[in-house]
Amino acid sequence: MLLKGKTALISGASRGIGRAIAIRFAEHGAFVGINYNSSEKEAKKVLGTIEEKNGSGMLLKGDIASLEEVRNMVSNFVDRADHIDILVNNAGIYVRNYFKDLPLETWRRVLDVNLNGCYNLCKCSLPFIPNGGRIIFISSQLAFKGSAHGADYATSKAGMLGLMRSLALELAPRNILVNAVAPGTIDTDIVAHYTEEMRRKRESEIPLGRLGKPEEVANVCLFLASDLSSYITGETINVNGGLYIH
């Protein structure tokens, strides 16, 4: 029970990595806020799974790209949970596009969700994060490598790291630890567009020979959310099976 009595708000927790984080945190005693935008049915299932394991949490509907929706969502969470010990900026979107074909609206939407969504969540949550709290960002290996068909995505994930490092410095006097996780290729809906051939090719490129599991990212988030990481801030932990070592 690494998070007994803690409260955690997780964006985009209806499926994939966010779902795994919500379940892992709840298994360790946290009361979790499960944010979702449109997938209410999936979010309810996540809460159901948590409650079956005697954990607790609540659903939080809201588009993280909207400051107003995030403000409402945070207010609903705090009404019940009182404060936010742990904020996880997880929600994100990926749209495959070469830059030459990348429409401005797509660029803006990806930046609005992936990067400005972090601004909205941090801005609205910060007044409720006590000293000793945690902020975790789910970035990507593409923040370092770039992406031939995801300039918007890679830009948003690199920008997120600038925000993470800056908040780490600003919030260190309050012992609020701010870190990021940079996943490699994790087996979620975000890679659902892979053909069998693309999947095999990707697996052959990964030194550990397989895609990662959402739970393997959630375990690192658990470490960063817990007292075990008490002297780590401003850091990015890569969870990529050796695909990008730096």
Residues ≥6 apart with Cβ < 8 Å to 230: 177
| Helices H / strands E in the chain, number of each | 9, 7
CB of 191 closer than 8 Å to CB of 201:
no
Return the number of the residue (67 or 191) whose C-beta is nearest ligand NAD: 191
Residue 12 engages ligand NAD in binding (rule: CB under 6 A) = yes
Q: Cα–Cα distance between 144 and 128 in angstroms, integer? A: 32
The answer to the question of residue 16 lying near ligand NAD (CB under 6 A) is: yes
Size of the site for ligand NAD (CB under 6 A): 29
For position 241 contacting ligand NAD by CB under 6 A, the verdict is: no
Contact status: 140 vs ligand NAD (CB under 6 A): yes
Site string for ligand NAD, 174-203 (x = CB under 6 A): ---------x-xx-xxxx------------
CB of 101 to ligand NAD, least distance (A): 20
Phi, psi of 147 (to 5 degrees): -145, 130
> Of 98, 119, 153, 194, which residue is the catalytic one?
153
CA distance 172 to 180: 15
Residue holding tokens 């260190």? 172
Q: Does 55 bind ligand NAD (CB under 6 A)?
A: no
Concerning whether 153 is annotated as a catalytic residue, the answer is: yes
2 is a site residue for ligand NAD (CB under 6 A): no
From CA 87, how far away is CA 126, in angstroms rounded? Answer: 9
Q: What is the x/- site pattern for ligand NAD, positions 74-113, by CB under 6 A?
A: ----------------xxxxx------------------x
Decide the pairing of beta strands 236-239 and 177-183.
Answer: parallel
Query: For residue 18, what is the enclosing H or E element?
Result: helix 16-27
| Size of the chain in residues | 246
Interaction mask 107-126, ligand NAD, x per CB under 6 A: ------x-------------
Residue numbers annotated as active site = 153
Positions in the binding site for ligand NAD (CB under 6 A): 11-12, 14-18, 35-37, 39, 63-65, 90-94, 113, 138, 140, 183, 185-186, 188-191
